[in-house]
Amino acid sequence: MWAREREEREREMALDRRDSVSSAPWRGNAAGSLFFAAAEASRKLAEYVNSVIEALSTQNGRTLASLLAISSPNSFCELVASALELAKEPIKILKQVDKHAPLGDMLSNHTKCMHSYHQRRYVEAFNALEKSANMFLQEFRSWESAWAMEALHTIVYELRTLAQMADREMVANGKIPDKLKGAGSFLMKVFGALAGKGPKRVGALYVTCQLFKVYFKLGTVHLCRSVIRSIETARVFDFEEFPARDRVTYMYYTGRLEVFNDNFMGAEKKLMYALRHCHSSKRTNVRMILKYLVPVKLSLGTLPKEWLLQKYNLREYLNVVRALRRGDIKLLRHALHANEDGFLRSGVYLVLEKLEQQVYRRLMKKIHIIQKLKDPARAHQIKMEVIVKALSWLDISMDVEEVECIMAILIHKNYIKGYFSHKSKVVVLSKQDPFPKLNGRANIL
């Protein structure tokens, strides 16, 4: 150790002499500080490598994960980056890892990535990390136990986040972003390494969730299907054995997928699972779940309390819910229009749009109740003109034919029980349960 330092020192001095024409102050402050900095950097790097070696030899996954972390606030990124700049022959130092595991190349790539990341060159960083991750995965496969799962997850996470940053950088430079896609295919590889039987399967769901994030980001949601199948059809491993964190995330994403597929029952089930298992202190997560759960519940006929919406800052749904309560078509349309962009982006617009028929139903129900108060005997007959008038009070101008059509649809879709007489222009409600409960029924055909 000491010998090497001296060697470096001498080289340093030779360098200095060569560089400066007046080689006088080669022992001066600048040179000295440089030398010391280099020595310090080498020491730090060696320290870092030593801790990696220790983590490897003690099979301490958590420590290893923290050593490999890049973007977390207390990562070794800055330290390694600066040490890498100053140290002489850093590769030599990093190669020492090979004594314990053939991860020298991996570590050199990884530190390169840290260095690039520190300098905010994310594309470079991603490329280095991808190499590092591949090497690590190769090594990970050969380990029988899953002790390094945490480290692998860290790498997976860093790879995904770095890919997003790299893509942003590429877009800014006018290139076509493809790093996230690359990360997705690497994650698939990792998933393949984990998804089989054995102790490593526990980590598969985490990777799956990371994959979901990638696919949702890329808009290639259909790729989720194969992963989901692999998770849900495996009988060997109970879903409940996965960590809660991963289960919630998984249910959240699969619930969203069900929303896209108009499968509100399935979506409700999954989202409810996610909500129930999500730690209540994670408010943002709860909110994300509710953002999809509320529309699903609405379309199934369950209205949330207003305080819930207030608490989780879901104000965009306030008017929707109010419109549903009041049977106010206009309010619903207004609410939809006001938040159109947001709803379109989150993908619930089409769900909310179909609430309109529930609002009509609500309106009919109200008319029915009023008629019952006036004349219980004939309350089940609602004349078209009454409906048209009610709508016009709501500032909705519709002619009879249109209203007729809507009534026909309501009856057809079983929002209302009864029939419509074209001849007399009357909606005849069933005397028994004219407005059947929507709850628990797929009422959207």
Partner 1 sequence: MDNSSYSNHQQQQFQHQVQEVSYAGHDNNVGSVSGSTSTSAANGSYNYSQVFSAFPPSNNLYGYGPSNYQSSNYGYLQQGNDSYAQNTGIYPGSAAPYQSVSSFQNRSSYTELASYPGASTYYNGGAYQASTYPPASVYSGPTGAWNNQSYNSYGSYPSYGGYSAPNSSSNLNAVSAQSQYQQECQQWADYYASLEPKVQSATVTSSAPGTEPDIPSAVSLCTSTPTYASVVAQGTSNNFYSAVNQPPPPGTQPSWQVPAPSHFETASQHLSSTTGTINNGSQWDTALMQLPVNDSYGQSSEHFQQVQNNNSLQQEQQDPLPSSQQDTHVTHIPEPSPSDHQKPLKFHSSVQQFTSLEASKQRMSKLQIPTNPRITQNLGVVISNGPKGALPDSSKPQKPAYISIRGKSSINKVSSDDIADATLQPGMFPPSLRAYVERALALCKDDAQKAVCQDYLKEIITQASCDGSLFSKDWDIEPLYALSSMLAKGISKQVAASVKLDSVSTRRVKSRWEPVGEKLEDIKDSIDADSSKTEVLEGSKGQEFAVSPKKWEKQETTWINQQQHHITSTKPSKRGGQKIKKPDPGTGGVGTSSESDTDLDQGGFHLGSLLTTETPEEKRKRQTRTKRFERSKEYSGPKGSTKPKLQGNASSRRASAIRLVMSVGDVNGQAVEDINWDSLTIRGTCQEIEKRYLRLTSAPDPSTVRPEDVLRKALAMVQSTPKNYLYKCEQLKSIRQDLTVQRIRNEFTVQVYETHARMALEAGDLAEYNQCQAQLKGLYSEGISGSYNEFTAYSLLYMVFQNVNNRDLLSSMARLSHAARQDEAVRHALAVRSAVATGNYTSFFRLYRTAPKMSSFLMDLHVERMRFEAVKCMSRSYRPTLPLSFMARTLGFSSLSLVNGLDEKESDGLEDCEEWLKTHGAQVVYESSTNELMLETKMSAATLFMPEPEDVVPHGDANLAVNDFLTRS
Whichever of 221 and 370 has its CB closer to partner 1, that residue is 221
Look at the chain and count its residues.
445
Compute the least distance from the CB of residue 409 to partner 1, in Å. Answer: 5
Backbone angles phi, psi at 383, to 5 degrees: -80, 150
DSSP assignment, residue 300?
Answer: T
Shortest Cβ distance from residue 401 to partner 1 (Å)? 6
* Alpha carbon distance 231, 263 (integer Å): 20
The residues that bridge with 419 in the sheet, in sequence order, are 428
Closest to 440 measured CA to CA, from 266, 254, 262: 266
Which C-beta is closer to partner 1: that of 245 or that of 330? 330
Rounded to the nearest 10 degrees, what angle do helices 2-19 and 29-58 cross at?
Answer: 140
d(CA 192, CA 34): 48
Q: Report the 10 Å Cβ neighbour count for 258.
A: 20
Give the nearer residue to partner 1 in terms of CB position, either 61 or 184: 184
Q: Say whether 333 sits in a helix, a strand or coil.
A: helix
- Give the residues across from 318 on adjacent strands: none
Helix axes 318-326, 283-299, angle to 10 degrees: 30
Closer to partner 1 by Cβ: residue 75 or 358: 358
Q: In angstroms, what is the minimal distance from the CB of 131 to partner 1?
A: 23
Q: How far is the CB of 161 from partner 1 (least distance, A)?
A: 23
- Taking the least distance from each CB to partner 1, the nearer of 72 and 424 is 424
Identity (one letter) of the amino acid at 58?
T
Name the minimum Å distance from CB 445 to partner 1: 8
Positions of E strands within 84-223: none
Binding positions for partner 1, rule: CB under 8 A: 219, 221, 260-262, 341, 344-345, 347, 349-350, 353-354, 356-357, 401-402, 404-413, 419-423, 428
Question: Rounded to an integer, what distance in angstroms lies between the CA atom of residue 360 and that of residue 356?
Answer: 6
Identify whether the C-beta of residue 48 lies closer than 8 Å to the C-beta of residue 76: yes
- Shortest distance in whole angstroms from residue 262 CB to partner 1: 7
Closest CA to 203 of 226, 180, 183, 231: 231
Q: Which is nearer to partner 1, 221 or 386 (CB)?
A: 221
Nearer to partner 1, 57 or 421 (CB): 421
Question: Least distance from C-beta 352 to partner 1, angstroms?
Answer: 11
Q: How far is the CB of 381 from partner 1 (least distance, A)?
A: 13
| Smallest distance, partner 1 to C-beta of residue 422, A | 5
* Contact predicate 252/274, CB 8 Å: yes
Task: Name the residue nearer to partner 1 (CB basis): 143 or 216.
Answer: 216
Structure tokens at 261: 């597929």
The CB-of-416 to partner 1 minimum distance in angstroms stands at 9
User: What tokens were used for 244?
Assistant: 């809660």
SS3 (DSSP) at 256:
helix
Contact 154, 69 (CB under 8 A): yes
What element of type H or E holds 428? Answer: strand 426-429
- Minimum CB separation of residue 353 from partner 1 in Å reads 6
Indicate the residue among 308 and 400 with the shorter CB distance to partner 1: 400
In this complex, which beta carbon is closest to partner 1, that of residue 235 or of residue 423? 423
HEC sequence for 15-37 = HHHHHCCCCHHHHCHHHHHHHHH
Is 290 in a helix, a strand, or coil? helix
CB closer to partner 1 out of 16 and 404: 404
